[in-house]
Structure 1
Amino acid sequence: MRSVVIVFFILTLSQNFLFAQEKKHSRVMPVHPSYVLPVKHTRADSISHTVPQIKYVYQYLKNTHINNPATRYALDNLKRDRYKYYELSRAIRILRDYAENEHIKYMLNYVRTYFETVKAKEEAIAMIQERISRDSLDFYRANPELDSLHLLDSTRYDIFLNQDLEALLAFMEQDENYQWMKERSRDSVLITILGASDRSKNIWLNTGRAEYHRMMTENFVGDSIGGWIKVMPRGKQIKFLLDNDVYQTRRFAFRQEQPEECLLVASDSAYFVLAEMKIGTIERRHWTYYSDVSLSFGQGFISSNWASGGENSLSILSDLKYFATYKKRSTTWENSFRYRLGALKSGSEDLSKNEDKLEIQSKLGVKAFRHWNYATQFDMNTVLFNSYNASDRETVIANFLSPGNFTLSLGLDYKPKDNISLYLSPIAGQWVYVRDTNSVDVTRYGIEAGKRYKSDAGAKIELKNKHTLFKFLNVDNHLMLFSSYYEQPEKLTVDWRLTLNFRINYFMQTSIYANAVYNQNDSKKIQFKETLNIGVHFRF
């Protein structure tokens, strides 16, 4: 009984010790709120349980392969704009499609990289071919001691070849893509070299390996010599090599040890002497000449039963120009000659003259400063044939030097370019001369009756400019103003000429010529004349 009590007491103490240890080391973990919400499925019968859906938006930006933002902005604008001309819209669309195609950039980068590796592929093919040749029939024939089994007598020559390498080479030779890339990767120009016999030899400068081409060359005497053209492996380089011991003439080909009877002997030793070189002298050309010739035609036909009426017409106009200019240091002398002659036939009337004017101008200038020149100028204009009154067709109103207008002036010429000239003359003399006083009324041109000429003095301004617009339109403008010191200020003489030449092709052009004149000696009103013609144009 005593033993039972002791055992019970020990068990009780051990149990209390275990509980005490568990209570001493136990910790209470706090419960934190969860931030993960449970996912609730959407029910068809309940809207309150709908779970919001997350949408991923992927926006594709165009033309990101173009680095310049201004170009991307321009492409967007061009796509929205509408142009009137179909050809222009089509051209813009073609270039825009090319610029917006991002695949071209990556494709060309790949092709460019592929081209750079073609040479490595060719070297790999050459290495494999060399390896096959070592294992081939030629290798065993060059080393008969290796053929102890007499395999060379067998008909199975392919047993000496490496079948795997042969299959790889066959694939490279038959692959169309590789062959196409190989041809395009040469990055060179196919050149043709002609030999002594005019036989052509086509050579690629970039083949990736050294190549030799045979050729024959010929000297001035007529002898030919053989040689070689070596294409360097690096490409775009060729080297010429001549034979050292073989020479060829028109009849013989022999070595340096040729017999004496085959030696060429010249009958005259002077034949091989170089002629004396003649050195020419270089001289500057001071005179320049050129001329323009224009022939224009006009025609109109109306049938006899044309309801609106009218008359047939035919017109022809010729415009001849000749220019001669002398330039030496600071001196310039410009001379021009121009003659316009035209005829018109309308209906049943006879052929009549509708244009007749001869103009001669000469201007001598000496450089003053910058674009200004001291200049003196002489002008003359008249007609060559009789001109009749439009009302009666019998009264002669003008003929050669009746009248003849002459002007001599002194002033400054501003010429910043060859096609622009502004002439300012404070001293200018003007004369009107009538040669034929019997046929021509001198009072018509402001000359007193019984006299042949009239003189005047004043100031003159003349402007000349020529321009080319739109590559097909040539504008020739000529304006002349003359103010007399003796006459009233309102008696200002103005002569303005404008020529528009529309170029059709190299020989043909359409021209519009307008001439406005205000001269109170001739008429109180402004005189105006205009012609429109199409014809041929030549420049010599």
Structure 2
Amino acid sequence: IVDTVPLEKDPFITKETIVMNQVDSLILSFRYKEKLPQLDSLIDSLLLARDTIREVFIDSLYLESKRLQMHQVYIDSIVPPLLPPGSRRTVRFLPDSAGIVITERFRMLMADTDSPFFIVPNEKMPDSLKYAVQSLLVHTEVRDSILLFLNDIDGQRTPFWLSTGESDQYRFWVKNQANDSITLWVGNPTKYDLSLVLEDDVSVERREKKTVDDIPITTLRPVRSLAAIKPLEEIPVYWSYGLGSSFTMNQTYFSNWSRGGESSIAGLLDIRGSAEYTNKELKSKWTSSGRLRYGAIITEAQGFRSNTDEIEINSQYNRVLREKIDFSSVFYGKTQVAKGYNYPNDSVVVSKFLNPGTFTIGVGVEWKPIPKTSLNFSPLSYRNTFVLDTANINQGAFGIDNDLRARQEMGGQLVIRNSVTILDGLNINNVIRLFSGYLDKPKNIDVDWEMSLDKQINWYSMIRVNFHIIYDDDIRFPVLDSAGEPVLLPDGSQRKVPRAQLKQFLGLTLAFRI
């Protein structure tokens, strides 16, 4: 083993062989047992071990797993060899064969006894002293410097050293008789070179004589004219974004209240986002917006209940046809986030995400008679109301036949948007959607009207009142008599009629806009 490597175990395997006499004790005891009473003890003495042979092997498999190279001595040589072929090194063993000595020879030239050097570089060196002087000159060339003096017109001397390997530049001021000065940067590229660089941004003007004709003379009546004004080029901004959020909260607390009551807390989160692309050259605009409204109420008796859950997506493309009238195509989608229940029964889910879902696609025109007011009429519209999970959600509650998953309608849609400010900071926003199907009861118009009144208190809070009215002729509600019992038709089925759906919310709102 050439090198010493720490191993987890001894890399040797010991094998022992025990040598014993071979005696057939069964035959001896059968023949001579009566003649020799001591036959058993004699047989035991013959069966004793004669010798033990111990062999020690190197565990080559273990050493190979450790990636250790093994070398063997064969007729005064090492196999495989330690040194490559042609090496100037030699190998020999120590007398006790416990170590290996590697010797390498170098060729060296010795100088004469009169030379100041012990080792010379080559055989052609005629004079050792000359070589020593040359070495000193080379050392001086690299390490030595040259001192220069820079003189100005006043006789002041400024020292400047020339040396090898100096790359920095130094600043000097050069002055004339009028004490005007400019800056020069003095550099030292090599030991025997000097560089002069004039300071940047230096303007040198020379005096010159001019004739009288070249001198401008101001007259009593100068020529006055307006210079042409080049209009500024407007940099188009195509995209604009908006994000707004509001949180409305109501809270009531009762403690030992004799007239009765129940503590409760209610909240409504309203998040709106929009992105608008405007291209004035093409006279087109694309507006997309999204809205999430989620509200809940917590009471001591009923616990947590959701009372508002809406997701709305709007996308509208407009192209100007003439003043205040645009060609328009619209998309409107609506669904909810969480599961809905018809309280007080909170064990049966009546709605959830995309159950139901509604989207409307329409093509038409949009008219903007006054600012912040628009009327979008889409005579060619398609509305789809669908319920995906009909196994758990009753699609009939949303006007869909019991054997279908969707209700598809072709008709016309009118969307009216208006925003007005009255009194002192009271904003009224209205969005009215009217839809009438051409194929099924065109006179029955579905109405979706949302109105909000906002009174700003400060920059982050307001008082908000929200009204939401929905009337859909396809969504019907059971009719009850004065006793609360369902009214039945002659065929025995329960009577159902369409009714206006109303939702109202009032509260203090915290609003943030970006």
TM normalised by structure 2 equals 0.51
Structure 2 CA distance for partners of 1:285 and 1:417, relative to 1, 3 Å: farther
Q: Secondary structure at the match of 2:397?
A: helix
Correspondence 1:535 to 2:509: yes
- Correspondence list, 1:290-329, <5 A: 290-303=242-255, 305-329=256-280
Please, which of 398, 404, 427 is the counterpart of residue 380 of structure 2?
Answer: 427
* Whole-angstrom distance in 2 between the partners of 1:287 and 1:270: 48
Structure 2 CA distance for partners of 1:259 and 1:460, relative to 1, 3 Å: closer
String of CA shifts for 1:420-444, please: whole Å, max 9, x gaps. 1101121111100112222211111
Structure 2 CA distance for partners of 1:374 and 1:314, relative to 1, 3 Å: same
Q: Secondary structure at the match of 1:474?
A: strand
String of CA shifts for 1:310-332, please: whole Å, max 9, x gaps. 10010111111111111113111
Correspondence 1:525 to 2:499: yes
* Whole-angstrom distance in 1 between the partners of 2:342 and 2:238: 46
String of CA shifts for 1:30-56, please: whole Å, max 9, x gaps. xxxxxxxxxxxxxxxxxxxxxxxxxxx
User: Residue in 2 aligned with 1:483?
Assistant: 436
Structure 2 CA distance for partners of 1:411 and 1:282, relative to 1, 3 Å: closer
4+ residue stretches of structure 1 with deviation over 6 A? 255-260
Structure 2 CA distance for partners of 1:424 and 1:503, relative to 1, 3 Å: same
* Whole-angstrom distance in 1 between the partners of 2:333 and 2:322: 29
* Whole-angstrom distance in 2 between the partners of 1:390 and 1:296: 22
Q: Secondary structure at the match of 2:347?
A: coil
Structure 2 CA distance for partners of 1:281 and 1:485, relative to 1, 3 Å: closer
* Whole-angstrom distance in 1 between the partners of 2:185 and 2:393: 84
Deviation for aligned residue 1:290: 1.0
Which one-letter code corresponds to 1:293 in the other structure?
A: S
Q: Secondary structure at the match of 1:531?
A: strand
Long gaps (5+) in structure 2: 1-174, 187-196, 204-231, 477-497
String of CA shifts for 1:265-295, please: whole Å, max 9, x gaps. 5677565389xxxxx9963001111111111
* Whole-angstrom distance in 2 between the partners of 1:313 and 1:292: 27
* Whole-angstrom distance in 2 between the partners of 1:269 and 1:434: 83
Deviation for aligned residue 1:485: 1.2
String of CA shifts for 1:233-290, please: whole Å, max 9, x gaps. xxxxxxxxxxxxxxxxxxxxxx997879x8755677565389xxxxx99630011111
* Whole-angstrom distance in 1 between the partners of 2:262 and 2:435: 41
User: Residue in 1 aligned with 2:77?
Assistant: none
Deviation for aligned residue 1:347: 2.2
* Whole-angstrom distance in 2 between the partners of 1:416 and 1:530: 30
User: Residue in 1 aligned with 2:157?
Assistant: none
Compute the RMSD of aligned alpha carbons.
2.5
* Whole-angstrom distance in 2 between the partners of 1:465 and 1:269: 71
User: Taking every aligned residue pair, what percent have the same amino acid on both sides?
Assistant: 27
User: Residue in 1 aligned with 2:241?
Assistant: 289
Q: Secondary structure at the match of 1:394?
A: strand
Please, which of 445, 449, 456 is the counterpart of residue 503 of structure 1?
Answer: 456
* Whole-angstrom distance in 1 between the partners of 2:258 and 2:176: 98
* Whole-angstrom distance in 2 between the partners of 1:309 and 1:494: 39
User: Residue in 2 aligned with 1:66?
Assistant: none
Q: Is the 8 A contact 2:182 2:199 kept in 1?
A: no
Deviation for aligned residue 1:521: 2.0
Tell me how many residue pairs correspond in the alignment. 279
Correspondence 1:458 to 2:411: yes
String of CA shifts for 1:144-176, please: whole Å, max 9, x gaps. xxxxxxxxxxxxxxxxxxxxxxxxxxxxxxxxx
* Whole-angstrom distance in 2 between the partners of 1:269 and 1:396: 87
Deviation for aligned residue 1:469: 2.0
* Whole-angstrom distance in 1 between the partners of 2:177 and 2:301: 96
Structure 2 CA distance for partners of 1:511 and 1:270, relative to 1, 3 Å: farther
* Whole-angstrom distance in 1 between the partners of 2:298 and 2:338: 17
Deviation for aligned residue 1:493: 0.5
Q: Secondary structure at the match of 1:272?
A: coil
Structure 2 CA distance for partners of 1:283 and 1:444, relative to 1, 3 Å: same
* Whole-angstrom distance in 2 between the partners of 1:356 and 1:480: 19
Which one-letter code corresponds to 2:201 in the other structure?
A: F
User: Residue in 1 aligned with 2:291?
Assistant: 338
Deviation for aligned residue 1:374: 1.1
String of CA shifts for 1:395-438, please: whole Å, max 9, x gaps. 11111111111111111100245511101121111100112222
Deviation for aligned residue 1:448: 1.6
Structure 2 CA distance for partners of 1:369 and 1:307, relative to 1, 3 Å: same
Structure 2 CA distance for partners of 1:258 and 1:353, relative to 1, 3 Å: farther
Which one-letter code corresponds to 2:450 in the other structure?
A: R
String of CA shifts for 1:181-218, please: whole Å, max 9, x gaps. xxxxxxxxxxxxxxxxxxxxxxxxxxxxxxxxxxxxxx
User: Residue in 2 aligned with 1:367?
Assistant: 320
Q: Is the 8 A contact 2:430 2:452 kept in 1?
A: yes
- Correspondence list, 1:17-28, <5 A: none
Which one-letter code corresponds to 1:327 in the other structure?
A: T
Please, which of 328, 345, 351 is the counterpart of residue 392 of structure 1?
Answer: 345
User: Residue in 2 aligned with 1:227?
Assistant: none
Long gaps (5+) in structure 1: 1-254, 275-279
Please, which of 338, 354, 358 is the counterpart of residue 401 of structure 1?
Answer: 354
Q: Secondary structure at the match of 1:488?
A: coil
* Whole-angstrom distance in 2 between the partners of 1:519 and 1:504: 37
Which one-letter code corresponds to 1:435 in the other structure?
A: L
Structure 2 CA distance for partners of 1:462 and 1:273, relative to 1, 3 Å: farther
* Whole-angstrom distance in 1 between the partners of 2:202 and 2:400: 79
Please, which of 348, 351, 355 is the counterpart of residue 308 of structure 2?
Answer: 355
Q: Secondary structure at the match of 1:444?
A: helix
Q: Is the 8 A contact 2:183 2:199 kept in 1?
A: no
Structure with the largest fraction of helix: 1
String of CA shifts for 1:76-130, please: whole Å, max 9, x gaps. xxxxxxxxxxxxxxxxxxxxxxxxxxxxxxxxxxxxxxxxxxxxxxxxxxxxxxx
Structure 2 CA distance for partners of 1:393 and 1:490, relative to 1, 3 Å: farther
TM normalised by structure 1 equals 0.49
Which one-letter code corresponds to 2:397 in the other structure?
A: R
